[in-house]
Structure 1
Amino acid sequence: MSEDSMLKPPTINKLPTLKPPAVTALAGNSLQLPSTAQQKLNNSANGASTGSATGNPRNKCALKPGYSLMNWIRLCNSGADLSGTAGRVVPVSRSELAKHNQVGDAWMAIRGKVFNVTRYMDFHPGGVDELMRGVGRDATKLFDEVHAWVNYPQLLGKCYVGPLLQTAAVKKETLATDAELMQAPLPPTEIAPRFDWIQQRSELTLCFYTRRLANPGLLLKRQSACELELRVLLAASWHVYKFQLNAAVDWPPKSVRVGAETGKVEVTLAKQLAEPWSKYGTHESSKLEALDELHEFEVLHCAHFNHDSFELSLQSVQRELLLHLPVGYHLDIEVPYNGELLQRSYTPVSETWMTAEAVDSCLATQHFLIKHYEAGPVSSYLHELKPGARLQLSLPRGNFRLSQLEKHRNILLLAAGSGLTPILSVIPALLKRNSNRIERLQLLYFNKTQQDIWLQEKLQALQLSDERFTCQHILTQEAGRISQLLLEPHFKQSPAERFTFVAMCGPTGFNSAALDILTTLNIKTTEVHVFQA
């Protein structure tokens, strides 16, 4: 999906992680409580209703003029110190987090990250009361119950204070006052890849076994003819293997296989001297959490795609680097803009979706289909690039779990406009699935006009080649926007035939409307995934 349709604040001038002094409460800082937030809190204290603050689009609180999502984006771009830390990244203990539990000094933690939401109070569609439920503590569980589809790292990126420190033991009095912490589910079992190797006289294969539907990613770098660094991405963790091989190998690899369903990674390299090895060599392994690393890529191909879109192929400047994304993950592209650096999220697509003129693919190449917005600084910048121009790309990002779809055989896909791109990565993975094979995979693709439709002929060809897949094009200029009337028929079949899982991607308004309708149709949030890039 393209960047400007997401209505999310850009990432500007990413700050380095510094080791700060001890954290102090911000009660005396310059952050002032917006008057409307104070009024809402007073109303709540006096028993006045602030609306149903559930996060459901049907029950949002009315926002005062000047506190829309676009106003929040402008505030994020204004340079205001929304985190209250003057640009420093400050690790936060649970006891420190608990101190910031007032409307005028409000911090909350979501998935190990602490955000200062003081200035966000008046912008929260669910109201101040709802936001205050998570203030001063780890609000992950509450967030997942109400806002699981919201792209909070982008929405609150400028409010980031620092990581939540995890203590080895929790005091009894803390447990007694935080029932939700007591009921929090245990973290999933850690997956550590198991390494093995096999050889033939002329080649070496490095094998990594994770588990079924682990959907691994891969980054492979050659340091020298005998040195390799191989990283396996599982969820948000990188498992790093640094190899000192027994003898020299050629580059690039003869083959690289990454099984989203099997969880197996195989890298086959040709030996420079064809002879048996007594051992593969040696390696050191380590684990790294979410890395904020950028790699330089250059433009190979940038060309017209349709009346308002273009295709872009990028290749790593470091020729001895290969990158494979997990299914459903995206990359952030960073570009300069008015002396700053902007990042937007794009999901690469397989070369099979590109035009015949596109550059041949390999794991060193990433292909994108991008909608050009005249007022969008990033898409406009990318649209004008010539071959040889250079860009910075992030490592893969995302939270899509392929295992979440394992038990489902009838799956509905919803896409709007350029939101088709993450869906394109999911379709082949599901149709190729061997265990619990897909019975029906239907795509409802929403566009304003016939001219806006991407890849109509290729989607039709896929429909003809696999009877399990169907694609229905919905033109909003004729049929109107997504509605219960459009979705309800897909959930009226017999229990054995009705769709039991929905994956979607589109602009924020499209996603919110779809979620609202699915809730009305009694579809559980655990049976829905919303792609945010």
Structure 2
Amino acid sequence: MLNIPTQSFPAPSSQQRVGQSGRTKVALKPGHSLMDWIRYSKSGKDLTGLRGRLIEVTHEELQKHNTRNDCWTCIRGMVYNVTPYMDYHPGGEDELMKAAGIDGTDLFDQVHRWVNYESMLKECLVGRMATKHLQQGNKITTSTHLFVYAVPIMCCLYRYDWFQTATTVHLVIYTQRKIPNSGCTVVDLEAGVLRVEVLLGKMSYMVHLRLSENVDGDIAVNTAFAVGKIQLTIRKQAEGKWSSLGEPLEFHNTFLSKKDRALFFRDCVLVSKTEVNHNTRVFQLQLPRGTVMHVPVGKHVYLKSLIQGTEAVRPYTPVDQSLSVVPDTSSEKTGLYLMIKVYPDGLLTQHLNGLHIGDHVSVSGPEGTFSLRPLRDTTVLYLLAAGTGFTPMSRLIRVALHESFAIRKTQLLFFNRREEDILWRRELDELTAQDERFQVEHILSEPCESWTGRKGRVDDTIIKDFLSRPQGSKCYVCVCGPTLFTEQTIRYQQGFSEEEIHAFQG
């Protein structure tokens, strides 16, 4: 591939296509926020046009409702009249119209898989897709129009076994391949139900059991990374021999694409809130006793809370406790630190900011496409961030300075509106003074008169000045910020191939 991007760069299927696969937003009319939609949907108005009736929708009927003023779509077999939601949709009506009159499940999963659409659109529910009979030889089967759910694939490469002593139970999972990092295993043990998910690339292997006897809440996980073996140790409440490990539950012993599994949330406790600047806090969350989870660098989690009867869900990237303290990664059973900007009209951020120590919030497992693999032979790492787009960069800085022997230089270009908006500025400046391998440059779009640094917004000139390719070096570029910032930044990065750039979804 040539290093000069063409007009089609990034490729249409690329993760860099933020506008396609990210969360593109449009300016909504006043009075059309998420909270306004919640109020409107609960006003008692007939949002389906069916006066409260639920109907069975045929493929032919669904196709008829494909205009701006009469728009139905199907998501996982359920049909919704999304016409009333047009003006409230953050992605704009054009995005909704892509699914007008058709099955929008795939489109929805590409952009909004984490959104609880059942709660958001429950007052817009028209009914269920009709079923049709399919003739297969002499056998008649029934399927839903427009989509077919695949039977979970059993993979012979993945398997589990178990053994026991009088006081402990041991579950061993064999992946038959090298395990890249500790964050690939997520374990949840609650009320006797054990859920283990092993994440390797885009695939997911799951063990899901109701244990046959009572156990203590603590669980230990030991991983032999080189041989792909994961061992869980659980202590029995009462000594004795178990006749079986337990009863299989939904999706037990299945190997699926990660995107085909629903998000799984666990209940976490707010331990502390620390002020970073005038509108940003670090929220420290404690995982439940029976959860073992470590979020790998560059991955994010989703937070979920029930607000006025509607579930609000948003993605956030964990940070370390600080830039100066190298975290203990010897144990996966750690808490989460989330750096979150509190917006005046932010439904979930206002809710989070109002939580008290000891309150609860639901947290998903690790999500995201980022991989550390390209950094193994990278010698120069460029990081471009705007606002809270700094969050994934904070952990990448630590990796570059403390865990990578190849990276010789790490440079951060940090865009903000005003000086008081800069996150962890003191720590960044201290790190620059202490380690010659790290450099940071701040750019402000609305600086005060005393500001002596660079001013402006992201443009072609700034990117060209910042990005260079030293002779004999291997470079990698990471970008994160609002969608428009990310799209513009990537557009200006001439001289770098698609494989040398990762855009965190905004």
Q: TM-score, normalised by structure 1?
A: 0.58
Task: Give the Cα separation in 2 of the matches to 1:200 and 1:467.
Answer: 53
Q: Would the alpha carbon gap of residues 342 and 201 (structure 1) be closer, same or farther in structure 2, given more than 3 Å must change? A: closer
Deviation string 1:392-445 (CA, Å, 9 cap, x unpaired) is 3042364434389579836543322223224445555677888x9666654322
State the partner residue of 2:206.
Answer: 239
Q: Residue 363 in 1 paired to residue 333 in 2?
A: yes
Task: Give the Cα separation in 1 of the matches to 2:502 and 2:363.
Answer: 27
State the partner residue of 2:456.
Answer: 480
Task: Give the Cα separation in 2 of the matches to 1:138 and 1:463.
Answer: 52
Q: Would the alpha carbon gap of residues 303 and 100 (structure 1) be closer, same or farther in structure 2, given more than 3 Å must change? A: same
Task: Give the Cα separation in 2 of the matches to 1:432 and 1:386.
Answer: 35
Q: Would the alpha carbon gap of residues 237 and 280 (structure 1) be closer, same or farther in structure 2, given more than 3 Å must change? A: same
Task: Give the Cα separation in 1 of the matches to 2:72 and 2:333.
Answer: 41
What is the CA distance between 1:329 and its match in structure 2? 1.9
Deviation string 1:168-207 (CA, Å, 9 cap, x unpaired) is 9999xxxxxxxxx9xxxxxxx9977443679999985734
Identity %, equivalent residues: 23
Contact preservation (8 Å) 1:94, 1:165: yes
Please list every run of 5 or more consecutive structure 1 residues that lacks an aligned counterpart in the other structure: 1-53, 58-62, 172-180, 182-188
Task: Give the Cα separation in 1 of the matches to 2:49 and 2:456.
Answer: 44
CA-based RMSD:
5.9
Contact preservation (8 Å) 1:83, 1:159: no
What is the CA distance between 1:88 and its match in structure 2? 10
Point out the structure with the larger strand share. Answer: 2
Task: Give the Cα separation in 2 of the matches to 1:465 and 1:163.
Answer: 62
Please list every run of 5 or more consecutive structure 2 residues that lacks an aligned counterpart in the other structure: 1-16, 21-25, 137-145, 147-152, 448-454
Task: Give the Cα separation in 1 of the matches to 2:130 and 2:180.
Answer: 30
Q: Would the alpha carbon gap of residues 231 and 469 (structure 1) be closer, same or farther in structure 2, given more than 3 Å must change? A: same
Task: Give the Cα separation in 2 of the matches to 1:154 and 1:138.
Answer: 17
State the partner residue of 1:310.
Answer: 281
SS of 1:382's equivalent in the other structure is: helix
What is the CA distance between 1:218 and its match in structure 2? 0.7
Q: Residue 77 in 1 paired to residue 38 in 2?
A: yes
SS of 1:252's equivalent in the other structure is: strand
Letter in 1 for 2:208: Y
Contact preservation (8 Å) 2:381, 2:411: yes
Task: Give the Cα separation in 2 of the matches to 1:455 and 1:89.
Answer: 53
Q: Residue 266 in 1 paired to residue 230 in 2?
A: yes
SS of 2:186's equivalent in the other structure is: strand
Deviation string 1:22-67 (CA, Å, 9 cap, x unpaired) is xxxxxxxxxxxxxxxxxxxxxxxxxxxxxxxx9989xxxxx9xx96
Contact preservation (8 Å) 1:412, 1:502: yes
Query: Equivalences for 1:213-292 in 2 at 5 Å?
Result: 216-221=184-189, 223=191, 228-233=194-199, 239-242=206-209, 244=211, 252-255=218-221, 266-269=230-233, 284=248, 285-287=252-254, 289-291=260-262
Q: Would the alpha carbon gap of residues 352 and 433 (structure 1) be closer, same or farther in structure 2, given more than 3 Å must change? A: same
Q: Would the alpha carbon gap of residues 439 and 127 (structure 1) be closer, same or farther in structure 2, given more than 3 Å must change? A: same
Point out the structure with the larger helix share. Answer: 1
Task: Give the Cα separation in 1 of the matches to 2:101 and 2:323.
Answer: 48
State the partner residue of 2:269.
Answer: 298
Deviation string 1:314-361 (CA, Å, 9 cap, x unpaired) is 334x5333344455122214154xx445525252535533899x9x99
State the partner residue of 1:529.
Answer: 503
State the partner residue of 1:345.
Answer: 314
Q: Would the alpha carbon gap of residues 528 and 315 (structure 1) be closer, same or farther in structure 2, given more than 3 Å must change? A: closer
Query: Equivalences for 1:22-421 in 2 at 5 Å?
Result: 68=29, 71=32, 73=34, 76-80=37-41, 97-107=62-72, 118-119=83-84, 135-137=100-102, 158=120, 193-195=158-160, 204=170, 206-209=172-175, 216-221=184-189, 223=191, 228-233=194-199, 239-242=206-209, 244=211, 252-255=218-221, 266-269=230-233, 284=248, 285-287=252-254, 289-291=260-262, 294-316=265-287, 318-325=288-295, 327=297, 328-334=299-305, 336=307, 339-341=308-310, 343-347=312-316, 349-353=318-322, 363=333, 365-376=335-346, 378-388=348-358, 390-396=359-365, 398-402=367-371, 409=378, 412-421=382-391
Q: Would the alpha carbon gap of residues 78 and 200 (structure 1) be closer, same or farther in structure 2, given more than 3 Å must change? A: closer
Task: Give the Cα separation in 1 of the matches to 2:216 and 2:290.
Answer: 11
Task: Give the Cα separation in 2 of the matches to 1:163 and 1:492.
Answer: 55
Task: Give the Cα separation in 2 of the matches to 1:84 and 1:517.
Answer: 44
Q: Would the alpha carbon gap of residues 239 and 117 (structure 1) be closer, same or farther in structure 2, given more than 3 Å must change? A: same
Task: Give the Cα separation in 1 of the matches to 2:235 and 2:433.
Answer: 43
Task: Give the Cα separation in 1 of the matches to 2:444 and 2:81.
Answer: 41
What is the CA distance between 1:223 and its match in structure 2? 4.4
Deviation string 1:74-109 (CA, Å, 9 cap, x unpaired) is 653342476778999999886665443334333457
What is the CA distance between 1:512 and its match in structure 2? 0.9
Task: Give the Cα separation in 1 of the matches to 2:459 and 2:53.
Answer: 45
Task: Give the Cα separation in 1 of the matches to 2:91 and 2:362.
Answer: 34
Task: Give the Cα separation in 2 of the matches to 1:93 and 1:501.
Answer: 48
Task: Give the Cα separation in 1 of the matches to 2:292 and 2:420.
Answer: 35
Task: Give the Cα separation in 1 of the matches to 2:232 and 2:360.
Answer: 29
What is the CA distance between 1:212 and its match in structure 2? 5.9
SS of 1:512's equivalent in the other structure is: helix
Q: Would the alpha carbon gap of residues 367 and 501 (structure 1) be closer, same or farther in structure 2, given more than 3 Å must change? A: closer
Contact preservation (8 Å) 1:113, 1:164: yes
Deviation string 1:222-267 (CA, Å, 9 cap, x unpaired) is 545xx7442335658672332758x9976534455597xx895735
Task: Give the Cα separation in 2 of the matches to 1:263 and 1:159.
Answer: 46
What is the CA distance between 1:305 and its match in structure 2? 3.6
Task: Give the Cα separation in 1 of the matches to 2:97 and 2:227.
Answer: 41
Q: Would the alpha carbon gap of residues 531 and 167 (structure 1) be closer, same or farther in structure 2, given more than 3 Å must change? A: farther
Letter in 1 for 2:230: E
Q: Would the alpha carbon gap of residues 264 and 406 (structure 1) be closer, same or farther in structure 2, given more than 3 Å must change? A: farther
Compare 444-453 and 113-122 and name the one that shifted more. 113-122
SS of 1:269's equivalent in the other structure is: strand
Task: Give the Cα separation in 1 of the matches to 2:502 and 2:424.
Answer: 25
Contact preservation (8 Å) 1:76, 1:82: no
